[in-house]
């Protein structure tokens, strides 16, 4: 597939991804948008359609995570997460529902922490519960168009977002949660996304927990 790499604030990381794809013989471009801004996202989809002639798969992975107990949560932080994680998902999915071609796939990102119920994750998990709801309803709304809509719900995964602010002991404890006794890797998650984006045509309206068996 040709790939449009979306970015919001980090053009360098997006361009590195584009360069990696091109170096491997693929085709890719970097496209900017604030996922919560419907005008910018509409322009992003227009750019991709113009460049590649159509859109077959949308993977919506943008999200932010700010941890706090319910008693101490700053509501500015709550609103920031809601804007990116909930509104952003709705805005992107709205354009995806309008633009993705027959036989395509829409893939959102949820989280396993909804079921793990770790302290300090309430506000973040709540935003991802909303992602699940959007995903399941949209799958039914696209009846008759041969487009699948699913969400991937990673468990503890060694990404910058997950590791930020955690000491070594915390990371070590989290790595033992799964029966496989390690953290997930970005490749582990990408394999699930590739499955849903390609051969998994009979998987639809599902939240797939990709966590090594934590739950």
Angle, vertex CA 128, rays to CA 73 and CA 90, nearest 5: 110
Q: Which of 7, 121, 124, 209 is catalytic?
A: 124
Known active-site residue 7: no
Cα–chain center distance at 1: 18
Largest CA distance in the chain: 51
Catalytic residues: 124
């Amino acid at each position: 597939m040709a790939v449009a790499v979306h970015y919001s604030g980090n053009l360098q990381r997006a361009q590195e991804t584009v360069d990696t794809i091109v170096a491997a013989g693929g085709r890719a471009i970097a496209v900017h948008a604030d996922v919560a801004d419907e005008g910018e996202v509409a322009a992003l989809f227009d750019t991709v359609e113009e460049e590649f002639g159509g859109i077959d798969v949308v993977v919506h992975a943008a999200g932010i995570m700010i941890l706090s107990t319910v008693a101490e949560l700053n509501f500015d932080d709550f609103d920031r997460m809601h804007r990116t994680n909930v509104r952003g998902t709705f805005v992107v999915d709205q354009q995806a529902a309008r633009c993705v071609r027959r036989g395509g796939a829409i893939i959102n990102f949820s989280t396993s922490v909804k079921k793990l119920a770790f302290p300090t994750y309430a506000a973040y998990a709540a935003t991802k519960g909303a992602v699940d709801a959007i995903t399941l309803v949209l799958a039914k709304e696209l009846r008759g168009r041969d487009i699948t809509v699913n969400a991937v719900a990673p468990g503890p995964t060694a990404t910058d977002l997950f590791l930020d602010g955690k000491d070594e002991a915390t990371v070590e404890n989290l790595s033992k949660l799964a029966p496989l006794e390690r953290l997930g890797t970005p490749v582990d998650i990408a394999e699930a996304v590739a499955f849903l984006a390609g051969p998994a045509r009979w998987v639809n309206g599902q939240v797939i927990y990709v966590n090594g068996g934590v739950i």
